[in-house]
Amino acid sequence: MSLFLTTTGNATLIFCVKDMPLNLSPSELAQLASQDFKGKPNQIGLIYASNGALERVYFGKSDDLYALGRLPAALPAGVYELTGATTLDALAFAGNQYKFSRYKKDTSTARVLKVSQSVYDEAAVLLAGIVLARDLVNTPANDMTPAALESVSRETLLPHGAVIKVTKGEDLLTENFPLIYHVGKASSVAPRLIDVTWGRSDAPKVTIVGKGVCFDTGGLNIKPDSGMLLMKKDMGGAATALALAHMIMTLKLDVRLRLLIPAVENAIAGNAFRPSDIYPSRKGLTVEIGNTDAEGRLVLADALTLADDDAPDLLIDFATLTGAARVALGPDIPPFYTHDDGLASELQAISFKINDPVWRMPLWKAYDSSMDGKISDLSSTGSLPFAGSITAGHFLNRFVTKTKSYVHFDIFAHVPVASPGRTFGGELQAARACLALIQSKFC
């Protein structure tokens, strides 16, 4: 994907303007007039030389941070330069041209943006993360199984010198990850916990957990057809976590990183877990299954318990956890939950600045007790028929007791309608914001 960026060579100039450009010849003004270009926000005006070659591009300034994502579709193949182009410009321009080409050949030609070396270096790392996450989420579940997620983790992170330990199948029971086991046991591909460590052992400890439900049928509480169609993306949290880890390692940030991915398929078979079943968790709390479609919080619970043992300086989880989060905030802006107010305001500010928006929602105290079980310590779904994303956050927080700074992201990981810089399908959400947060806190 750095394919769409360069630092050298001849380039056609792009000029961002607030109004009609001044000092143009009558024929140039006529060209712009024929394109109805008036220098209004996001308008694009092309000036051709008499030999028919594209000579210059005018683009109406706008406050959309990803505005440059509008350009590739309007320009012929070639190399372009905008003086002062930022990393966000580069992400928009390049990210807009992403194609998922694993199953259908991409025949399009590249529009390349010429940028400074420092923008190139930063954008290339971020784009690698964006492309990794989009590719993983877009890959259907027949090729993105728990085993495939393990392979991708190895291929992506071993070259950085990471150490990977995988616990799978019945070993999950002997190693005390009962919830991961019981959610994933009905699949023909064994459930597993992927545990990655990297970095200097006495550096600040950052642990990232990602929900890796490779397909979510809903289990015995089977999803209706429309709800199931998108569920290859239910490993979006794992994809996000992997992408963030990859970016941190590429940048060689001085942190001790741990990445935990519970990878399972929520499948249907004779041995599938059932509504009303009661299972122990790694933490020792018993959980009654209210609905087998609330599977993500279960696999996260065991992974978070393990993460909490280290009491890391920062613990983050990413999960496509609830439909309720989409009802509240829609697909573009994932909610996050934390008890750490300082962290929340820092994260909130950074996320808007770098156009990776997230929004704090409250761990409203009064809703917490609704997750208590009647004949078990916890109910997986609780008794409150509202605030589904918040109560899921409370459920997860029952398993994090030692870590001071814990943030849970309820992400969508998917773009339902393309917009400049954001293509349809899998998307990296909240990871760039977390990267910037980690850099500002620890580096």
Q: Which residues are near ligand BES by CB under 6 A?
A: 216, 234, 291, 293-296, 320-324, 326, 381, 388, 412
Q: Give the torsion through C-alpha atoms of 188, 189, 190, 194, to 10 deg.
A: -160
Exposure of 2 by Cβ count < 10 A (0-12 exposed, 13-18 middle, 19+ buried)? middle
Work out how close the CB of 379 gets to ligand BES at its nearest, in angstroms, rounded to a whole number: 10
CA angle 188, 193, 198 (to 5 degrees): 145
How far apart are alpha carbons 232 and 33 in whole angstroms? 47
Q: Which helix (DSSP H) or strand (DSSP E) does residue 435 occupy?
A: helix 431-442
DSSP-based three-state secondary structure for 224: coil
Work out how close the CB of 352 gets to ligand BES at its nearest, in angstroms, rounded to a whole number: 23
Map the footprint of Mn ion across residues 194-223, applying CB under 5 A.
213, 216
135 binds, among Mn ion, ligand BES, none (CB under 5 to 8 A by kind): none
Query: In the annotation, is 200 catalytic?
Result: no
119 close to 90: Cβ distance less than 8 angstroms: yes
Residue 89 interacts with Mn ion (CB under 5 A)? no
How far apart are alpha carbons 155 and 31 in whole angstroms? 51
Q: Which is nearer to ligand BES, 220 or 255 (CB)?
A: 220
Work out how close the CB of 213 gets to Mn ion at its nearest, in angstroms, rounded to a whole number: 5
> Quick one: which of 89, 135, 288, 293 contacts Mn ion (CB under 5 A)?
293
- Strands 256-266, 192-198: parallel, antiparallel or unpaired by DSSP? antiparallel
368 binds, among ligand BES, Mn ion, none (CB under 5 to 8 A by kind): none
Q: Which of 40, 154, 223, 360 is catalytic?
A: 223
Q: Which is nearer to ligand BES, 78 or 227 (CB)?
A: 227
Q: Which is nearer to ligand BES, 388 or 393 (CB)?
A: 388
Q: Which is nearer to Mn ion, 98 or 318 (CB)?
A: 318
Map the footprint of Mn ion across residues 220-259, applying CB under 5 A.
234
Work out how close the CB of 321 gets to Mn ion at its nearest, in angstroms, rounded to a whole number: 7
Long-range contacts of residues 350-354, Cβ cutoff 8 Å, at least 24 apart: 350/433, 350/436, 350/437, 350/440, 351/430, 351/433, 353/436, 354/88, 354/432, 354/433, 354/436
Q: Which is nearer to ligand BES, 330 or 362 (CB)?
A: 330
Residue 178 interacts with Mn ion (CB under 5 A)? no
Residue 317 interacts with Mn ion (CB under 5 A)? no
- Scanning 20-28, 98-106, 289-297, 416-424 for contacts with Mn ion by CB under 5 A, the matching segment is 289-297
- Strands 286-288, 12-17: parallel, antiparallel or unpaired by DSSP? unpaired
Work out how close the CB of 287 gets to ligand BES at its nearest, in angstroms, rounded to a whole number: 13
Work out how close the CB of 211 gets to ligand BES at its nearest, in angstroms, rounded to a whole number: 8
Residue 410 interacts with Mn ion (CB under 5 A)? no
Q: How many helices (H) and strands (E) does the chain have?
A: 13, 20
How far apart are alpha carbons 310 and 253 in whole angstroms? 19
Nearest residue to ligand BES, by Cβ distance, number only:
323
Amino acid in the structure at residue 306: L
Q: Which is nearer to ligand BES, 78 or 323 (CB)?
A: 323
Q: Which of 232, 258, 283, 297 is catalytic?
A: 297
Work out how close the CB of 291 gets to ligand BES at its nearest, in angstroms, rounded to a whole number: 4
How far apart are alpha carbons 214 and 148 in whole angstroms? 9
Nearest Cα neighbor of 60 from 21, 101, 116 is 21
Residue 318, strand partner residues: 210, 409
- Scanning 169-177, 293-301, 337-345, 395-403 for contacts with Mn ion by CB under 5 A, the matching segment is 293-301
Q: Which is nearer to ligand BES, 196 or 235 (CB)?
A: 235
Query: In the annotation, is 297 catalytic?
Result: yes
State both tokens at 399: 């398993």
291 binds, among Mn ion, ligand BES, none (CB under 5 to 8 A by kind): ligand BES
How far apart are alpha carbons 147 and 140 in whole angstroms? 13
Residues identified as active-site: 223, 297
Chain positions contacting Mn ion, by CB under 5 A? 213, 216, 234, 293, 296
